[in-house]
């Protein structure tokens, strides 16, 4: 049989289509298109599922194929692969969001910050209180950079 991960995700849709087919047998090309297989993979799978060759055509009983695909769909390998694909999709989503955040450009303050007196008016720094008024995320990041520069100068 071909490697499962390549066609496992197509099993539910293939089952729907197979149940709707009126013919009693499925040929190789139909199995190829249902599961996205190559010719040789489809032939191996058909043989594995009890298929046979009739003349030049490879065939498998439609009900037998449905039964075998149901067994696969209910198996541990299938559920493990499904969970793995979900984890990969979630990670890709997180990475895409992180990549977008990394593309944000933080502009340095317009004037160099040498100390707390050079902080913009939008930053209010009092004992146990910090207030920053900003227009956008980029503006907030720019002001935080100015605050960090002032603090680092003060610590030096």
Angle at CA of residue 118, ends 114 and 120, nearest 5°:
135
pLDDT at 8: 87
Statement: 4-88 belongs to CATH 1.10.760: no
Which residues have a Cβ under 8 Å from the Cβ of 146 and sit 6 or more positions away? 109, 113, 118, 119, 120, 123
Tokens coding 7 = 């066609």
Long-range pairs for 100-108: beta carbons < 8 A, 24 or more residues apart? 104/137, 104/138, 104/141, 105/138, 106/138, 106/141, 106/142, 106/145, 107/138, 107/142, 108/142, 108/145
| Backbone phi and psi for residue 95, each to the nearest 5 degrees, phi listed first | -65, -35
One digit per residue, the tens of pLDDT, for the chain of length 156 reads 545 567 888 999 999 999 999 999 999 999 999 999 999 999 999 999 999 999 999 999 999 999 999 999 998 988 888 898 899 999 999 998 888 777 777 777 777 777 888 888 899 988 889 999 999 888 898 889 888 888 888 776
The residue extents of the domains of the chain are: 4-88, 99-156
pTM here is 0.58
pLDDT at 3: 56
């Amino acid at each position: 049989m071909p490697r499962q991960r390549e066609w496992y995700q197509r099993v539910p849709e293939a089952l729907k289509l197979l149940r709707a087919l009126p013919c009693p047998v499925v040929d190789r090309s139909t199995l190829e298109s249902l599961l996205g297989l190559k010719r040789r993979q489809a032939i191996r799978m058909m043989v594995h599922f009890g298929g046979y060759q009739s003349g030049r055509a490879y065939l498998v009983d439609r009900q037998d194929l449905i039964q075998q695909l149901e067994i696969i769909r209910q198996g541990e390998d299938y559920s493990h692969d499904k969970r793995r694909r979900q984890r990969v999709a979630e990670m890709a989503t997180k990475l895409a969001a992180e990549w977008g955040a990394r593309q944000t450009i933080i502009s340095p303050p317009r004037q160099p910050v040498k100390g707390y007196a050079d902080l913009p008016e939008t930053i209010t720094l009092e004992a146990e209180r910090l207030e920053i008024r900003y227009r956008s995320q980029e503006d907030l990041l720019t002001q935080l950079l100015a605050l960090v520069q002032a603090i680092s100068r003060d610590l030096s």
